[in-house]
Amino acid sequence: MPDAPPASPPPAASPGDGDGSAAGRRSDSHGATIELEALTKRYPGSGAPAVDNVNMEIRAGETVIFVGPSGCGKSTTLKMINRLIEPSGGRIRIGGEDVTDIDPVRLRRKVGYAIQSSGLFPHMTVAQNIGLVPRMTGWRKTRIKERVEEMLDLVGLDPGEFLGRYPRQLSGGQQQRVGVARALAADPPVLLMDEPFGAVDPITRDHLQDELIRLQQELHKTIVFVTHDFDEAIKLGDRIAVLRERSHIAQFDTPEAILTNPADDFVSGFVGAGAALKRLNLSRVRDVEITDIPTVTVDTPLQQIFNSLRASGTSEILLLDRNHRPYKWLRRGDLMRAKGSLARAGTLVTDTVTRDATLRDALEAVLTDSSGRAAVTGRRGEYIGVVDMETLMNSVHELLEEDRLEALEHQHDLETTRSAQTHAEQEGGDAGGRKA
Amino acid sequence: MSFWEYVRTTHQQLLTDAYQHASVVFQCMVVATALGVLIGVTTYRSAWAGNVATTAGSMLLTIPSLAMIGLLIPLVGLGVPPTVIALTLYGLLPVVRNAIVGLRGVDPALTEAARGIGMSRLARLLRVELPLAWPPILTGIRVSTQMLMGIAAIAAYASGPGLGNEIFRGIASLGSANALNQVLAGTVGIIILALLFDAAYVLIGRLTISRGIRA
Ligand SMILES: Nc1ncnc2c1ncn2[C@@H]1O[C@H](COP(=O)(O)OP(=O)(O)OP(=O)(O)O)[C@@H](O)[C@H]1O
Ligand SMILES: [Mg+2]
């Protein structure tokens, strides 16, 4: 789960293209703010605008997801940010600078762009693709080479193996990684992604999403990400903008708030069934109570196992292997039948979860494990504790309750500021400074 | 005199003719390629302009070569000029057409990606579109060259250079002892030249088409 947006956004570094910045660090420029003001796109020949009067403020270092039904204008809105599509009206500001009228080539150099089909140039090697933007901005050869290797490393590809390959020699998921590496190569403060993981299989997509989360924790770019997959939005977004036709914002809020308090029927329709289940994706096992249960190891004498089971007052005990990893669940009956050897007794532990697993994974494990609980393991698979059904249920109830309170408070805040604004406007009678 | 004897006794003349033939075709192809790609690049983005260019090229190609040279003689005189002009014009069409097809065939997602990462119009053209359109353009050049090999023979009619002279001399003296040998020598020479050029194009293709898009 992505961290909450930083309380005080990191200062928007100047997006210098120059050669002077320290090499060796992966990112010198943290995210920049993006402000969209009355942004509108009217395609020639069509009556209604495709994007109608969008106002949005995106904080520096934040990941914002646009979701909405097909054709609602997500891509059009996104592409207006780097002016691949020229707006018919409104302003765009990045890091406070009005970029609506600057040279689009200059604008795009500080806005990374990654698309669904990866958009890699098939006639260039991986290294050439990634090094393209740095080369155009006049970096030195050695620095480009370093940067390319660093970027490959960043997206989890071994430079030695992949540098010289052509895109067609890569799998879909690898192409997508290289696409992201290229978008980040010149260290832009802003990254735009249009359904980047739309064309890969669900397992690879899951991996790529995890990678993006990890990457973002390291880089703190401002990311605007388009998808029509609400689960993807929940997983990746600090905030989600649910868009309806003509890019009208139905709700723009944190995943938690949207799940627990959808603004209207359109949003709840889009959230779909099982909001509570989806909420499980937003919390990790480390956030809930992990209980301890009696354990023994395979080297423990049988009699001692009996004793600890009796002493614990539970009907079950967890047998660990020599590396302290969960191995088998032993019940009283199993021990009775064991007849001196544990080789055949008990049921194997089939599914464990780590502390980083989502509660949804934990629930899955609890439901499949024969004992009705799941063992939690550490980095090397060693036993830490267990989560059970009851803990999970209580946590989810608590979470939902918290979310609801927060959403109410949030709503209350909004109303107060809004009424304060109206009040101020009426008082001053001068709305000249405000946007119409 | 047998054909081989004929070739042996006149090989000096034949080699000179062959060299001139190859030379004029090569030079005209260079000009036709440059012009053809330029026309392709300036017209492919507009449906209208592209079609005009292709249609004009096709119409040029329907003019019989003899007539074209005949029409050029009063304008530019005899010898090399009408030959070069005619060959260049004929060589244009396949290059223009394939350049337009090739450039239009570049995946729009790629050109958008190129724009998206901040490539200027010129950089997009030189680094993305032309390299991707290069295989069909090279095919066009190859087709043009084959065609020009034959058409260049007609140039002898306007006292142009090349193996056509051999053929025309033979035709003019039909019935004489060496007439057939002359026509045959000219024709075989042209075929051999065409094969050599083709081999060269295969080599050029290997060297210039990126491994990433080679079939
Ligand atoms: N070049 C264009 N000319 C005219 N209309 C267009 C053009 N591009 C998009 N549109 C229209 O604008 C609207 C928004 O399109 P857009 O591509 O932004 O949708 P989207 O939300 O990205 O959809 P999807 O999820 O299917 O990608 C659509 O109704 C579409 O038909
Ligand atoms: Mg789209």
pLDDT, average across residues A51-77: 93
Q: Domains in chain B, start-ordered, CATH in brackets? A: 3-214 (1.10.3720.10)
Nearest residue of B to residue A109, measured between CA atoms: B118
CA distances from A334 to A144, A342, A349 (A): 64, 9, 15
Q: Please report, as a single letter, which amino acid is at residue B1.
A: M
Of A338 and A101, more confident: A101
* Burial class of residue A147 (count of CB atoms within 10 Å of its CB; 0-12, 13-18, 19+): buried
CA gap A249, B154 in Å, rounded: 72
Nearest to A123 among B113, B118, B210 (CB): B210
Nearest residue of B to residue A123, measured between CA atoms: B212
Q: How confident is the model at residue A28 (pLDDT cuts 50, 70, 90)?
A: low
In contact, A299 and A16? CB cutoff 8 Å: no
Tell me: pLDDT of A293 over 90: no
Give residue A433's pLDDT. Answer: 43
Chain B interface disruption, residue of A121, A125, A187, A192, most B CBs within 10 A:
A121
Q: How confident is the model at residue A335 (pLDDT cuts 50, 70, 90)?
A: confident
Give residue A353's pLDDT. Answer: 87
Give residue A364's pLDDT. Answer: 85
| A-chain residues near B132 (CB < 8 A) | 121-123
Give residue A417's pLDDT. Answer: 75
Nearest residue of A to residue B211, measured between CA atoms: A123
Short-list A216, A382, A364, CA closest to A281: A364
pLDDT, average across residues A258-277: 80
A182: left (phi over 0), alpha (psi -120 to 50) or beta: alpha
CA gap B44, B49 in Å, rounded: 7
Give residue A425's pLDDT. Answer: 66
Nearest to A105 among B112, B113, B120 (CB): B120
pLDDT tens per residue across span A140-168: 999 999 999 999 988 889 999 999 999 99
pLDDT, average across residues A330-336: 79
Largest CA-CA distance found in chain B, in angstroms, rounded: 71
Residues 6+ apart with CB under 8 A from B126: none
Q: Is B109 on the interface with A (CB under 8 A)?
A: yes
In contact, A310 and A296? CB cutoff 8 Å: no
Q: Residue length, chain B? A: 215
CA gap A82, A112 in Å, rounded: 9
| B-chain residues near A123 (CB < 8 A) | 131-132, 210, 212-213
SS (H, E, C) chain A: CCCCCCCCCCCCCCCCCCCCCCCCCCCCCCCCCEEEEEEEECCCCCCCCCEEEEEEEECCCCEEEEECCCCCCHHHHHHHHCCCCCCCEEEEEECCEECCCCCHHHHHHCEEEEECCCCCCCCCCHHHHHHHHHHHCCCCHHHHHHHHHHHHHHCCCCHHHHCCCCHHHCCHHHHHHHHHHHHHCCCCCEEEEECCCCCCCHHHHHHHHHHHHHHHHHHCCEEEEECCCHHHHHHHCCEEEEEEHHHEEEEEECHHHHHHCCCCHHHHHHHCCCHHHHHHHHCEHHHCCCECCCEEECCCCHHHHHHHHHHHCCCEEEEECCCCCEEEEEEHHHHHHHCCCCCCCCEECCCEEECCCEHHHHHHHHHHCCCCEEEEECCCCCEEEEEEHHHHHHHHHHHHHHHHHHHHHHHHHHHHHHHHHHHHHHHHCCCCCCCC
- Give the distance from residue B213's alpha carbon to the nearest chain A alpha carbon, in angstroms: 6
Residues forming beta bridges with residue A65, ordered by sequence position: A225, A240
pLDDT tens per residue across span A312-327: 777 788 888 888 898 8
* Burial class of residue A299 (count of CB atoms within 10 Å of its CB; 0-12, 13-18, 19+): exposed
CB contact under 8 A, A84 and B131: no
Q: How confident is the model at residue A7 (pLDDT cuts 50, 70, 90)?
A: very low
CA gap A195, A179 in Å, rounded: 12
Q: Is B119 on the interface with A (CB under 8 A)?
A: yes
Give residue A25's pLDDT. Answer: 52
Q: How confident is the model at residue A273 (pLDDT cuts 50, 70, 90)?
A: low
pLDDT tens per residue across span A392-434: 888 888 877 877 787 777 777 777 777 777 777 666 555 444 4
Give residue B69's pLDDT. Answer: 87
CB contact under 8 A, B116 and A109: no
In contact, A209 and A49? CB cutoff 8 Å: no
Residues forming beta bridges with residue A240, ordered by sequence position: A65, A253
Distance from CA of residue A115 to its chain's centroid? 17
CA gap A190, A385 in Å, rounded: 41
Residues 6+ apart with CB under 8 A from A362: A285, A288, A353, A374, A387, A392
Q: Is B113 on the interface with A (CB under 8 A)?
A: yes
CB contact under 8 A, A121 and B114: yes
CB contact under 8 A, A117 and B109: yes
pLDDT, average across residues A34-63: 92
Give residue A340's pLDDT. Answer: 67
In contact, A372 and A358? CB cutoff 8 Å: no
CA gap A41, A77 in Å, rounded: 8
* Burial class of residue B17 (count of CB atoms within 10 Å of its CB; 0-12, 13-18, 19+): buried
- Give the distance from residue A118's alpha carbon to the nearest chain B alpha carbon, in angstroms: 9
Token output for A268: 């709840």
Ligand 1, pocket-test mutation among A40, A43, A54, A224, most atoms within 8 A of CB: A43
B139-167 b/e (C-beta count within 10 Å ≥ 16 → b)? bbbbbbbbbbbbbbbbbbbbebbbbbbbb
CB contact under 8 A, B213 and A122: yes
Tell me: pLDDT of A363 over 50: yes
Chain B interface disruption, residue of A107, A113, A118, A123, most B CBs within 10 A:
A123
Q: Please report, as a single letter, which amino acid is at residue B74.
A: P
Give residue B166's pLDDT. Answer: 87
Nearest CA to ligand 1 atom 25: A70
CB contact under 8 A, B117 and A125: no
CA gap B189, B164 in Å, rounded: 10
CA gap A173, A179 in Å, rounded: 10
Give residue A260's pLDDT. Answer: 80
Q: Which atom of ligand 1 is nearest to the CA of A72?
A: 21
Ligand 1: residues whose CB is within 6 Å? A 43, 46, 50, 68, 70-76, 228
Nearest to B118 among A105, A167, A168 (CB): A105
For A315, phi then psi, to 5°, come to: -95, 0
Nearest CA to ligand 1 atom 24: A70
Nearest residue of A to residue B209, measured between CA atoms: A123
Nearest residue of A to residue B111, measured between CA atoms: A119
Among A183-187, A378-382, B16-20, B147-151, whose mean pLDDT is lowest? A378-382
pLDDT, average across residues A51-78: 93
Q: How many CA atoms lie within 13 A of A141 on its CB side?
A: 0
| A-chain residues near B120 (CB < 8 A) | 105
For A314, phi then psi, to 5°, come to: -100, 170
CB contact under 8 A, A105 and B211: no
Q: Regarding beta strands A111-115 and A97-98, do their DSSP bridges make them parallel or antiparallel, or are they unpaired?
A: unpaired
pLDDT tens per residue across span A11-23: 444 444 444 344 4
In contact, A298 and A342? CB cutoff 8 Å: yes
Ligand 1, pocket-test mutation among A52, A75, A195, A246, most atoms within 8 A of CB: A75
Give residue A428's pLDDT. Answer: 58
Mean pLDDT of chain A, nearest integer: 83
pLDDT tens per residue across span B120-170: 999 999 999 999 999 999 999 999 999 999 998 888 888 778 888 888 888
Percent of chain A with pLDDT over 70: 89
pTM of the model: 0.75
Give residue A362's pLDDT. Answer: 87
Nearest CA to ligand 1 atom 22: A75
Q: Is A76 on the interface with B (CB under 8 A)?
A: no
With a cut of 70, list the residues of chain B below it in pLDDT: none
